[in-house]
Structure 1
Amino acid sequence: MVEMSERHTVSVIIPAKNGGQLLYNLVYTLLKKQTLTPSEVIIVYDGVLDEYIEKILEMGGKVIFSGERKGANRARNIGVEEAKGQILVFTDEDCIPSSTWIEKIVEEMNQLNVEAVAGSTFMANPQFFFSRYLDESVLTSSPKYSKRIILKNDYPPGVVIATCNFAVRRDAWKRVKGFDEEYKWYGSDDMDLGFKLLKAGYRIACSPKPIVYHFHRTALTKILKRYFQYGQGFAIYSKKHPESSFTRISRAGLLATFTWITSAIIMVLGGLIYPPLAVAGALMFALPYLGLLAFYFKKKKTKSLKATIIYPLLDQILAFSSSLGYLHQNLSMKLKTNNKT
């Protein structure tokens, strides 16, 4: 059993704008159900006062009414400025941590002697098809670590971290100047903080022990919007950190996806004039689909035939959405730069 000490004082920081029952459940779990209770729970709130916020205050949660609407990263930085803990722990309002979450974070920092810990994230609403898809997809944004990985200098291929389950020592956070508020959306802002820590010589432990459950989106339109935002965020990340392996691998994947799918669409449309082009375009669509289909069958990542058939198609759609977000944000940044000169 880990005991709280001055070096291990823990502040949990939650950016929030929706409030309601979900946020209340999260704070209740943190203050009433943890094997190691955090020193404080800080909510940086952009919403309106309601009965749940009042209950959170009565329970001992600290609520900062920012009213700025400048994004989650601005809210996180505000929360850190108010926090007293030496370990800064981050999660989101649509999450529920396991009962041992705080204990495992402190335990991993102790045992592994690292400055930051990233944990695994699983779905909290498995009754919904799209939630199961987001949890099982090859494009999932929810990291799941089967074993401990100690990050040094850069990210290994395929390894990501997420701020819904992340902790960092205050001195390390302060040295890298916290979250970059240029990221207005969710997407690569967590990877940005992690990479700044790695470049500064700190180590990050990716561990399966600290577990958070996330309420995934259940509507395709909202999922498409979020993956578009992931692409936008990655455009900022890739500009800031061109040397990162995450930049090289992800940029190649996004550009290949955009080129491949756009070419296929042009060929299918060209088939209206010259029919063989439509056949070639259909084959271009089919090849990556069949490759993904084989992957899902081989890895047995899904429990139903229906999901195995549909997931590869959704993967292609979301990858294309992210590529559009990436190109859109790149164009916006270039236009902004040109307007300044």
Structure 2
Amino acid sequence: MKDVVFPMPTQYLDPSSYAVGTEAPAIGAGLVVFMSEGLPVGQAYVESPESPAALFAKTVQPDIVENARRVMQAPIVNRDVSVLICTKDRPEELARCLASVPKQSLPPVEIIVVDNASAGDATRRVVEAAGATYVREDRIGLDHARNAAVRAAKTEFVAFTDDDVVLHERWLENLMKAFDRPDIGCVTGLVLPGELSTPAQLIFETHWGFGRGYRRKDFDQDFYRQHERYGAPVWLVGAGASQAFRRKVFDESGLFDIRLDMGAAGCSGDSEFWNRLLHHGQICRYEPTAVSWHFHRKEMDGLARQIHQYMSGHVAALLVQYQNTGNRGHLRRILVSLPEYYFKRWKRRLRKGTTSQDFFLKEEVLGSLHGAFYLLSRWKVQPW
């Protein structure tokens, strides 16, 4: 970390754009994202100059390029979709996000923005200027806002993104193409960093980032049963900043649990819902051709609070999942797996010193404890 120069440059390269017979200039230090068919298909962090062709050959797998080509050529069948955005007191970020929606290759039927008790009217003015539908939700909490968005939507599908995200022009189209089976209840997408301008952003992207790789993955009943001993690691499904659902799954499985996420336990309302879908026999799909960019927190103090909230929400969600399913694997993860994990990291930190992975170890542990106490104090609260 100490040798990294900020801002770290991010380069998007398509080797097919180079003229035949010419040698492309060497790639400098930074994050390199390779493109094909206008879509990201692989990435690498470069420390010293490398040949683009050589780096592409060892970074990008042919089947990933083929999947991007197949998705681009597939017809759009599902068009009845709304884009839902929840926000609070971030009008500038919201305006940037909304500006990327009209560029979508698949125009949404409607854009619904839920204002979660923002101060003043700046948020409303941004929404009206963008021609979107404005919904006010004064009960503070992200999942109150998400549920208000779902109730307001009338389409067969709903797609969620966050106010600090910018969307690739084919984001919505490729999310919808991924619903090619009736038992797929949720699709998530690839989330790349919008910038890596500070150490906090690089630490988040390296250890907590939203990207789940460049290969399509289906999370089904085999995945759910395979991990029963410690509960399915549903956070691998994707990120709440890029997710879409069949509208009917909320009628069948309920809404987001208001005890979770920002304004409540801190996080994991999305992963708890994915766990619920898997428990009820649905499939969650990760579709890397549905691309967006997230702008991480720039300051260490803000990242420290975020990590505390993440672990608080994670443990609270495990308790909710135990409450919903009776699977004691979720309790085993809290009482056995997490303590062992933290103990090993404390030993390594004492032996080798602090690394970027361990900057926020204290916040992780305290957040985990907070999440347990928070959820237990609200055990009988109506979840939505």
Partner of 1:272: none
SS at match of 1:166: strand
Shift of 1:105: 0.4
Give the C-alpha shift of residue 110 in structure 1.
2.6
- Greater shift, 158-167 or 35-44, is seen at 158-167
- Identity rate of aligned residues, in percent? 20
- In structure 2, do the counterparts of structure 1 residues 247 and 121 end up closer, same or farther at CA, with 3 Å as the change threshold? farther
Residues 174/247 of structure 1: CA separation in 2 closer, same or farther (3 Å cut)? farther
CA contact (8 A) 2:79 2:108 kept: no
1:285 equivalenced with 2:350 (yes/no): yes
Determine the structure 2 residue equivalent to 1:213: 293
Give the residue type in structure 2 aligned to 1:170.
R
- Secondary structure of the equivalent of 2:289? strand
Question: Alpha-carbon deviation of 1:131?
Answer: 1.1
Contact 1:152–1:204 (CA<8 Å) still a contact in 2? yes
Aligned equivalents of 1:206 and 1:244: distance in 2? 26
Corresponding residue SS for 1:232: helix
CA–CA separation in structure 2 for the residues paired with 1:336 and 1:207: 35
| Partner in structure 1 of residue 131 of structure 2 | 60
User: What residue is the counterpart of 1:142 in the other structure?
Assistant: 210
Shift of 1:260: 5.2
1:147 maps to a residue whose letter is R
**Contact kept? 2:349, 2:355, Cα under 8 Å:** no
For residue 109 of structure 1, give the secondary structure of its aligned residue in structure 2: coil
User: Which residue does the alignment assign to 1:174?
Assistant: 251
Segments of 5+ residues of structure 2 without an aligned counterpart are: 1-72, 225-231
In structure 2, do the counterparts of structure 1 residues 332 and 194 end up closer, same or farther at CA, with 3 Å as the change threshold?
Answer: closer
Cα deviation code 1:164-199 (max 9, x no counterpart): 111110111221112100112442211101000011
Q: Is the 8 A contact 2:219 2:237 kept in 1?
A: no
Deviation per CA, 1:87-137: give whole Å up to 9, x if none.
111111111111110000011113796221011111112222221221122
For residues 247 and 121 of structure 1, the distance between their equivalents in structure 2, rounded to whole angstroms, comes to: 30
- Kindly provide the amino acid, as one letter, of the partner of residue 366 in structure 2: L
The 8 Å contact of residues 94 and 126 in structure 2, kept in 1 or not, is answered as: no
Which is helix-richer, 1 or 2? 1
- Residues 13-50 of structure 1 deviation map (CA, whole Å, 9 limit, x = unaligned): 111112322101211211x2111111111111021444
Change (3 A) 1:112 1:147: farther
Contact 1:228/1:324 (CA < 8 Å) preserved in 2?
Answer: yes
For 2:359, the aligned partner's letter is I
Distance in 2, matches of 1:86 and 1:253, equals 39
Q: What amino acid is the match of 1:212?
A: S
Match of 1:233 in 2: 313
Q: Which amino acid aligns with 1:125?
A: E
1:85 aligns with 2:155: yes
Distance 1:99 1:335 in 2: 44
Q: What one-letter code is carried by the residue in structure 2 that aligns with 1:77?
A: N
8 Å CA contact 2:110, 2:132 repeated in 1 = yes
Name which of 242, 245, 253 aligns with 1:165: 242
TM-score normalized by the length of structure 2: 0.68
Q: Please say if residues 157 and 246 of structure 1, whose CA atoms lie closer than 8 Å, have aligned partners that are also in contact.
A: no
Alignment of 1:310-321 (within 5 A): 313-321=355-363
Aligned with residue 254 of structure 1, among 323, 338, 348 = 338
Give ranges in structure 1 of 5+ residues lacking alignment: 265-282, 290-311
When structure 1 is superposed on structure 2, of 99-108 and 121-130 the one drifting more is 121-130
> Of Structure 1 and Structure 2, which has the larger fraction of its residues in strand?
2
- Provide the secondary structure at the position in 1 that maps to 2:184: coil
Counterpart amino acid of 2:339?
L
Given that residues 257 and 319 in structure 1 are in contact (C-alpha distance below 8 angstroms), is that contact kept between their aligned partners in structure 2? no
CA distance in 1, matches of 2:212, 2:335: 22
